[in-house]
Structure 1
Amino acid sequence: MQQIKGLLFDKDGTILDFYKTWIPINRRMALDAAGGDPDVAAELLRASGHDPETDIVKPGALLIGSDVTVIADHFAQVLKNRSSADLYEVVSRNFRDGGAEHATLIDGSIEEIERLRDAGYRLGLATNDTFDGMQASLGRFSGILDLFEFCVGCDSGHGAKPEPGMGLAFAQHTGLDPENCAIIGDSIHDLEMGRRAGFGLRVGVLSGPYRQVDLEPYADVVIDSVVELGALFNLPTKAATQI
């Protein structure tokens, strides 16, 4: 393992609980795009990998980790009567408003990230949500965004995952070589971005819809959640630090 000094985190499914946060957002976004027609909304969800009957989002679904433009273009192809530009506004609004209403933290995620910051790691956040959506969802929780010195969304000018731009921008911002950076995320998009950016470590987490078998081909290591990062990086336990 390279000497890792910078940690770039995904947001949804990594810091935020994917299902508690995104199931209601997906449902409202599809209904909005469908002009209020529940049958058309259900068709949109099914076509995007979200089963409207069970609310299970299958690994690799469009609605896991895709940026606003990709989702808007896909919805336009399915609906055929609305433009991508129109649907871009619909998706962006639902990302922002839905995040502000439904964002739910993974238990222990912020405490572990604070521990990593206190240990000297440089921290960043990169999401395929919009920048406003990121601020709306994490802004619900006091002080969280202040933990990260670098925060970008899909519309921040560095492209969207799995392209390498966000990762390269993080390395440039921190002055670190990409080999000294790690990506932590729950999706193939995250891990592939890390590979393309030349990151020294790709950490998959199983706190989102993807399974271990899905992530293993793209990750250097797969852990249950960010709560295990301290152990991965051999940080002392809380009990040890208090002695």
Structure 2
Amino acid sequence: MPSSPIKAILFDKDGTLLDYQRTWTPLNRAAADLAAGGDPALAAHFLRVGGMDPESGQTASNSLLAAGNTDEIARAWIDAGARFSVNELTEALDRLFTAAVSDAVPVTNLVRLFRDLHERGFRLGIASSDSQSAIEGLVKRLSLTPWIDFIAGYDSGYGVKPEPGMLLAFCEAMGVAPSQAAVVGDNPHDMNMAISGGAGLKVGVLTGTGTREVLQPLCDICLPGIQMLATDVFEGAPVSKP
């Protein structure tokens, strides 16, 4: 449990706000097909390199496709045979991922959850290994703009997970100490960002690729999903605006 009242909550995006399998399984297939130039065998190879089983669609926890950013995915696929430059493939994948926000599947009613948390005084942010433009597009599409105080993508200049930069930038922008911030995520890289940044509360969720066995040793609380936050974690929590 946190040693001081939590005043701000930083959410991961994919697997935390969005159902990973329903949102990213088809998107990962499309990305691999793009990188492979339509070659099915090469696309299947890229998916395996990324940690996704081409047959079942299951993605391994903390694998490249579960936790990596676009630049890391592009470099790995080029090493595995994609005929692009790093910049070309990174830009192409970012365009694909940004355009796909229209097909994203939220894990719960995010407007209701974020509005409730925001009205109770919590400052809210999103930190993702996706691009800033993709996060901004999702926030706009899901009508979350009034409730989101901070956005950080892999290309926002704060560093990448599991480094602490996104968390520390969030805390600085919100005017809170890291010990007054909670991090909510579905993968070890989220929890390790929280640990390295000194977050006051680490919340793992099981709506992504991370399993309870993987997350439990790294987090303070492990929940089925963020829909449990208001009742199981922050219900009645003393909140004072920073």
* TM-score between both structures, scaled by the size of structure 2: 0.92
Q: Is the aligned partner of 1:43 residue 2:45?
A: yes
Q: CA deviation at 1:234?
A: 4.4
Alignment-mate amino acid for residue 157 of structure 1: G
Q: Structure 1, residues 55-96: CA drift from partner, whole Å, max 9, x if none?
A: 111222210121111111111111164332222112212211
Q: Is the aligned partner of 1:147 residue 2:150?
A: no
The answer to whether the Cα contact below 8 Å between 2:136 and 2:151 also exists between their aligned partners in 1 is no
The answer to whether the Cα contact below 8 Å between 1:109 and 1:226 also exists between their aligned partners in 2 is no
Unaligned runs of 5+ in 1: 237-243
Question: What residue in structure 2 maps to residue 191 of structure 1?
Answer: 191
Mapping of residues 18-37 of structure 1, within 5 Å = 18-37=20-39
Mapping of residues 1-243 of structure 1, within 5 Å = 1-2=2-3, 3-79=5-81, 81-99=83-101, 101-142=102-143, 144-235=144-235
The answer to whether the Cα contact below 8 Å between 1:22 and 1:102 also exists between their aligned partners in 2 is no
Alignment-mate amino acid for residue 93 of structure 1: R
Alignment-mate amino acid for residue 40 of structure 1: L
Q: 2: CA distance between counterparts of 1:209 and 1:121?
A: 27
Alignment-mate amino acid for residue 199 of structure 2: F
The answer to whether the Cα contact below 8 Å between 2:36 and 2:82 also exists between their aligned partners in 1 is no
Q: Structure 1, residues 150-200: CA drift from partner, whole Å, max 9, x if none?
A: 111111110111111100000100110111101001111111111111111
Alignment-mate amino acid for residue 150 of structure 2: F
Q: 2: CA distance between counterparts of 1:16 and 1:213?
A: 21
- Number of corresponding residues: 234
Greater CA drift, 54-63 or 101-110:
101-110
The answer to whether the Cα contact below 8 Å between 2:118 and 2:147 also exists between their aligned partners in 1 is yes
Q: Structure 1, residues 193-219: CA drift from partner, whole Å, max 9, x if none?
A: 111111111100111111100001111
Please tell me the root mean square deviation across aligned C-alpha atoms, in Å: 1.4
**1:148–1:78: structure 2 CA closer, same or farther, 3 Å change rule?**
same
The answer to whether the Cα contact below 8 Å between 2:185 and 2:205 also exists between their aligned partners in 1 is yes
The answer to whether the Cα contact below 8 Å between 1:162 and 1:192 also exists between their aligned partners in 2 is yes
* TM-score between both structures, scaled by the size of structure 1: 0.91
Q: CA deviation at 1:116?
A: 1.1
Q: Percent identity among equivalent residues?
A: 36
Greater CA drift, 89-98 or 183-192:
89-98
Greater CA drift, 86-95 or 213-222:
86-95
Alignment-mate amino acid for residue 48 of structure 1: G
